[in-house]
Amino acid sequence: MTESQASDAFVAFDRVQKSYDGETLVVKDLNLSMPKGEFLTMLGPSGSGKTTCLMMLAGFETATHGRILLDGVSINDIPPHKRGIGMVFQNYALFPHMTVAENLSFPLEVRKIGKSDREGKVKRALDMVQMGAFGGRRPAQLSGGQQQRIALARALVFEPELVLMDEPLGALDKQLREHMQFEITKLAHDLGITTVYVTHDQTEALTMSDRVAVFDDGRIQQLAPPDELYESPQNSFVAQFIGENNTLEGTVKEIKGDLAQVQLDDGGIIDCKPVNVSKVGERTRVSIRPERVEFDKKRLKEGTHTIKAEVLEFIYMGDIFRTRLSVAGNDNFVIKSRNAPDQTRLTPGETIEIGWLPEDCRALDAN
Ligand SMILES: Nc1ncnc2c1ncn2[C@@H]1O[C@H](COP(=O)(O)OP(=O)(O)OP(=O)(O)O)[C@@H](O)[C@H]1O
Ligand SMILES: [Mg+2]
């Protein structure tokens, strides 16, 4: 990241590393630059460093190396009460001795907002999380999901410029969760709040975010808008982490521009897009989405390579058919097709030929 990129961004991580014990790096090399108003989600396995990044951005942990800037100023140089950051932690951390309404009023008092304004804002925030009737209770008198909603309301009540949320909807049922997903993104967009959101739920990440950062092992593996992440994963980790995905292993046989031919270990040849491979003879793991596999010859382009597959299982799911195949030694190769009048239902035991558009099959690293 150049000096000017880092200072133009509203939030910037510039070559950030973090070690808690002075030995192992739990954040290895983090570069991230967010414009004002962006909704960014961090997604990744447990222990990959997401909470650590939020804590550093909030100024509660210091980076071992590198810089974190908020509106061009190093976070460590901004006193905590001037940071204007709303936060929801993985544990809700409400003030136990205060009522719900007092919990929400507190960040407003700290910011010297007058009593009548405070009451209106507290009411609106409680209504947003459907907790309007609970203002007089203490946190210990609430369920986990209710506490989580109060924590969320408290983070947003003072209309902060930056909000950090660590699994804020983890304790909620599906319906409430979907309602809150909608409320959070709407509020963030309406008020132009910049948001860093952490979740384990892929669907949540894909539906709520402007961009998603996929973390693994203290690094961002890919940072991209949801559609790009799903359709153009840059490496095997991202391909397998996001959405359902089929993989096959083989060796690059030929590369011509945007088209690679890969010889599978059982001898079959498939057409792919070379993404992480550059030369003939290289090992690769190819990745293809279940909905992009075709078994109807009529729908395949002339000259497309096909390979044999044995049908193992057919599952009727209402709107779609999900069929499990054995392909080149992989017995978990799944295809999905829309339940339409002209769509064939495959029968277990049957042998078919499958193929795809070369651009839908990505030749990635073999790791
Ligand atoms: N205060 C701490 N002291 C020492 N090690 C820590 C501390 N906090 C986190 N770690 C370690 O740092 C690594 C990253 O932890 P972090 O909490 O950032 O992961 P995470 O991505 O948020 O995981 P999860 O999805 O489980 O919440 C882990 O290996 C964790 O054990
Ligand atoms: Mg965490």
More confident residue, 89 or 90: 89
CA-nearest residue for atom 30, ligand 1, is: 47
CA 73 remoteness from chain centre? 27
Residue 359, domain member (yes or no): yes
Nearest-atom number in ligand 1 for the CA of 20 is 4
Single residue among 201, 231, 261 that ends a domain in this structure: 231
Q: Does residue 303 sit in helix, strand or coil?
A: coil
Same domain, yes or no, for 44 and 68?
Answer: yes
Do 156 and 221 belong to one domain?
Answer: yes
Whether the pLDDT of residue 355 is over 80: the answer is yes
156 exposure class (CB count in 10 Å sphere: 0-12, 13-18, 19+): buried
What pLDDT was estimated at residue 6? 54
Beta bridge partners of 327: 330
In a domain, 237, yes or no: no
Residue range of the domain that includes 340: 244-364
* HSE-CB of 206 using CA atoms within 13 angstroms: 12
Same domain, 267 and 123: no
Residues 6 or more apart whose CB falls under 8 angstroms from that of 323 comprise 311, 313, 314, 315, 334, 335, 336, 337, 346
Per-residue pLDDT reduced to its tens digit, 192-234: 999 999 998 898 999 999 999 999 999 999 999 999 999 999 9
Residue 3 reports pLDDT greater than 70: no
Q: Give me ligand 2 centre to Cα 153, in Å.
A: 20
Task: Collapse the DSSP code of 199 into the 3-class scheme (helix H, G, I; strand E, B; otherwise coil) and give the result.
Answer: strand
d(C-alpha 209, C-alpha 165), whole Å: 13
- Which amino acid, residue 234? Q
Q: What is the pLDDT of residues 202-211, one digit of tens each?
A: 989 999 999 9
Average pLDDT, the chain: 92
Atom of ligand 1 nearest to the CA of 215: 21
Together in a domain, 15 and 112: yes
In a domain, 239, yes or no: no
Q: Are residues 103 and 251 in the same domain?
A: no
pLDDT at position 173 is 87
Per-residue model confidence as pLDDT tens digits over 135-182: 999 999 998 889 988 998 999 999 899 999 999 888 888 888 898 899
Among protein residues, the one with the nearest Cα to ligand 1's atom 8 is 52
> In a 10 Å sphere around its CB, with 0-12 CB exposed, 13-18 middle and 19+ buried, how is residue 366 labelled?
middle
Ligand 1 centre to CA of 53 (Å) is: 10
What's the mean pLDDT in 23-39? 95
Asked if the structure places residue 238 within a domain, the reply is no
Q: Do residues 134 and 164 share a domain?
A: yes
Domain-located, residue 257: yes
CA of 142 to the centre of ligand 2 (A): 23
> CATH code at 292?
2.40.50.140
Domain count, the chain: 2
**Confidence category of residue 237, pLDDT binned at 50, 70, 90:** very high
Residue 43 lies in a domain: yes
Q: Which of 204, 231, 258 corresponds to the end of one domain?
A: 231
Cα 159 to ligand 2 centroid, rounded to whole Å:
24
Whether residues 205 and 294 fall in one domain: no
Task: Judge if 76 and 188 occupy the same domain.
Answer: yes
Same domain, 257 and 221: no
Same domain, 109 and 256: no
Cα-to-centroid distance, 79 and ligand 2 (Å): 24
pLDDT in tens, 280-329: 999 999 999 999 999 988 888 888 899 999 999 999 999 999 999 999 99
pTM of this structure: 0.86
List ligand 1's pocket residues with C-beta within 6 A: 20, 26, 44, 46-52, 90
Q: What's the confidence (pLDDT) of residue 78?
A: 86
| The pLDDT value given to residue 150 | 93
Q: Which ligand is nearest to the CA of 45?
A: 1
Task: Check whether 190 has a pLDDT greater than 90.
Answer: no
- Cα separation, 219 vs 221, in Å, equals 6
Which CATH number do you get for residue 220? 3.40.50.300
Banded pLDDT at 131 (limits 50, 70, 90): very high
Within a 10 A sphere around the Cβ of 326, how many other Cβ atoms?
A: 16
Question: Taking Cα atoms as reference points, which of 335, 289, 291 lies closest to residue 310?
Answer: 335
Work out the pLDDT band at 2, boundaries 50, 70, 90: low
Q: What is the pLDDT of residues 64-78, one digit of tens each?
A: 999 999 999 998 888
Q: Which of 18, 21, 23, 26 to mutate to test the pocket of ligand 1 (most atoms within 8 A of CB)?
A: 26
Are 39 and 153 members of one domain? yes
345 in any annotated domain: yes
Q: Average pLDDT in the 243-259 region? A: 94
Please give the C-alpha separations between residue 100 and each of 108, 163, 232, 240, in angstroms, as whole numbers: 14, 20, 45, 42
Tell which of 179, 208, 231 closes a domain: 231
Residue 325 lies in a domain: yes
Of 126, 121, 152, residue with least CA distance to 137? 126
Q: Taking 70 as the threshold, does the pLDDT of residue 87 lie above it?
A: yes
What confidence score (pLDDT) does residue 34 get? 97
Question: Which ligand gives the minimal distance to the CA of 88?
Answer: 2
In a shared domain, residues 225 and 117:
yes
279 pLDDT higher than 70: yes
